[in-house]
């Protein structure tokens, strides 16, 4: 087991009506609040009005229209608002995109240069305004972690940045907010959760036994409850388990004692950067192909363990078990209604080389479970067509 730091200080309020704790959570942070949200669903479902009522003693400024793959232009606009109005805290209401954007906005508020600098080089991140997140999508885990991913369509770059101070001071996770999610977002969000687990589970460190069992627990939860949520969007048990799974999948619980680079996320980031597709869909498409591509004598035991512990595969032969698990993964995503070919989401092979180059350049693929070079990535993308 590798050495690690585990420091997850976010005050999570989980469950029905937890939004009522918002005044108590915001009080120590400040009165001047920037409310950040997306396309306006929070106005239709009542969260917006509820916030206005609960924070009637605060001075609230607003930034709406955060995109599904949040753009640097939105971040710049948010940072400018913070500077103009002396904002003291950022209230992010939405999924990972809104929370990610809010993190860089909260850092940009205290940075004199262009906010894109903070994405390209996280050493430039200084003081960060405190962030409170109200989660409306179970996917990225941004509500309890240090990560943010921002897109720059001008340069075809979708890059991750991080800071210990990006971790939200508090997060309100009410599973009922997921009841109105469209099926495709439920499915793509689940694919994102599962991909976070895969990226950390399939690593070279084999001695982090407890961490791997935690990882499998999250995968089993996704497999059990995504189909339930798709059939019964207002099933509280399903939504609650998926929401908690999303938070725990990327708050450093399942990286504890493990280590190494990621694979499918860096590859998917290029798909989104070039084509602006849904992150979770890109991950679902790439993941089983990546698994097949790296399956070898060196990795077969881990994939067999995955099949047995997560998919209850009874197969004793490691190769058969491993393939069973990979097939099950692909079928699961397909059964959740996710388009499982790049060609189905309008992507052909014309930019595969350029995307592979950037994935290798920005993605640290040399540190992954199985190191990949440009040609490997092109092959995986071809398998995904």
Residues making contact with a second copy (CB under 8 A): 1-18, 175, 207-211, 213-214, 216-218, 220-221, 224-225, 236-237, 240-241, 244-245, 248, 253, 256-257
Closest distance of CB 70 from a second copy, Å:
26
Q: Given the complex with a second copy, which of 78 and 175 has the nearer CB atom? A: 175
Q: How far is the CB of 75 from a second copy (least distance, A)?
A: 28
The answer to whether the CB of 88 falls within 8 A of the CB of 129 is: yes
CA distances for 370 relative to 21, 38, 304, 340, 364, angstroms: 45, 37, 16, 23, 11
Pair 195, 283: CB distance under 8 Å: yes
Nearer to a second copy by Cβ, of 253 and 355: the residue is 253
Which CB, 187 or 245, lies closer to a second copy? Answer: 245
Residue (of 60, 50, 98, 100) closest to 82 by Cα position: 60
Long-range contacts of 84-87 (CB under 8 A, 24+ apart): 85/32, 85/34, 85/59, 85/61, 86/32, 87/30, 87/32, 87/33, 87/34, 87/61, 87/129
Q: How far is the CB of 16 from a second copy (least distance, A)?
A: 6
Q: What DSSP designation does 368 have?
A: B
Three-point CA angle 106, 37, 42, nearest 5°: 150
Strand partners of residue 135: 94, 173
CB-CB contact of 57 with 136 (8 Å): no
What does the alpha-carbon distance between residue 365 and residue 245 come to, in Å, rounded to a whole number? 26
What is the C-alpha radius of gyration for the chain, rounded to an integer number of angstroms? Answer: 20
CB of residue 255 vs a second copy: minimum separation in angstroms?
12
Q: Quick one: 210 or 298, whose CB is closer to a second copy?
A: 210
- Tell me whether residue 81 or residue 321 sits nearer to a second copy (CB atom): 321
Closest distance between a second copy and the C-beta of residue 221, in Å?
Answer: 4
CA distances (Å), origin 73, targets 17, 152, 271, 275: 33, 8, 20, 18
| Euclidean distance between CA atoms 292 and 271, whole angstroms | 19
How far apart, in whole angstroms, are the C-alpha atoms of residue 270 and residue 313? 33
What's CA 331's distance to the chain center, in Å? 22
> Are the C-beta atoms of residues 193 and 218 closer than 8 Å to each other?
yes
Q: Which is nearer to a second copy, 14 or 367 (CB)?
A: 14
Q: At what angle do helices 352-363 and 374-383 cross, to 10 degrees?
A: 130
CB of 199 to a second copy, least distance (A): 19
Q: Residue 333 CB, nearest distance to a second copy (Å)?
A: 20
In the complex, what is the shortest distance from the CB of residue 50 to a second copy, in angstroms, rounded to a whole number?
17
**Shortest gap between Cβ of 156 and a second copy (angstroms)?**
37
Of the two residues 24 and 373, which places its CB atom closer to a second copy in the complex?
Answer: 24
Nearer of residues 8 and 385 to a second copy, judged by Cβ: 8
CA distance 36 to 82: 11
Residue 115 or 238: the one with the smaller Cβ distance to a second copy is: 238
Provide the minimum distance between the beta carbon of 149 and a second copy in the complex, in angstroms, as a whole number. Answer: 24
């Amino acid at each position: 087991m590798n050495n690690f730091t585990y420091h997850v200080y976010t005050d999570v309020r989980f469950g029905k009506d937890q939004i009522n704790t918002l005044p108590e959570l915001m009080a120590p942070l400040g009165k001047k609040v920037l409310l950040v949200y997306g396309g306006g669903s929070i106005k239709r479902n009542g969260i917006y009005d509820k916030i206005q009522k609960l924070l009637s003693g605060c001075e609230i400024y607003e930034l709406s229209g955060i995109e599904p793959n949040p753009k640097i232009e939105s971040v710049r606009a948010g940072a400018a608002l913070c500077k103009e109005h002396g904002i003291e805290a950022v209230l992010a209401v939405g999924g990972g995109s809104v929370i990610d954007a809010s993190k860089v906005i909260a850092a940009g508020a205290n940075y004199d240069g262009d906010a894109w600098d903070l994405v390209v080089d996280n050493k430039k991140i200084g003081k960060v305004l405190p962030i409170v997140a109200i989660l409306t999508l179970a996917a990225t885990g941004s509500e309890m972690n240090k990560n943010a991913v921002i897109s720059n369509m001008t340069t075809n770059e979708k890059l991750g940045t991080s800071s210990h101070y990006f971790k939200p001071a508090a997060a309100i996770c009410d599973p009922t907010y997921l009841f109105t999610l469209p099926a495709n977002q439920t499915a793509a969000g689940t694919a994102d959760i599962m991909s976070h687990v895969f990226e950390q589970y399939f690593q070279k460190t084999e001695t982090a036994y407890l961490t791997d069992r935690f990882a499998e627990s999250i995968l089993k939860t996704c497999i059990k409850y995504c189909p339930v949520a798709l059939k019964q969007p207002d099933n509280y048990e399903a939504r609650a388990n998926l929401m908690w799974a999303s938070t725990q999948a990327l708050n450093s619980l399942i990286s504890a004692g493990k280590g190494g680079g990621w694979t499918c996320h860096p590859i998917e980031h290029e798909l989104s950067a070039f084509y602006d597709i849904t992150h979770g869909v890109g991950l679902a498409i790439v993941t089983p192909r990546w698994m097949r591509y790296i399956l070898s004598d060196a990795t077969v035991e881990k994939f067999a363990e995955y099949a047995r512990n997560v998919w209850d595969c009874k197969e004793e032969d490691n190769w058969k078990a491993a393939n069973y698990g990979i097939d099950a993964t692909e079928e699961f995503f397909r059964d959740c209604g996710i388009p499982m070919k790049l060609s189905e989401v309008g992507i052909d092979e014309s930019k595969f080389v350029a995307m592979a180059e950037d994935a290798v350049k920005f993605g640290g693929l040399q540190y992954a479970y199985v190191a990949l070079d440009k040609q490997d990535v092109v092959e995986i993308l071809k398998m995904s067509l």
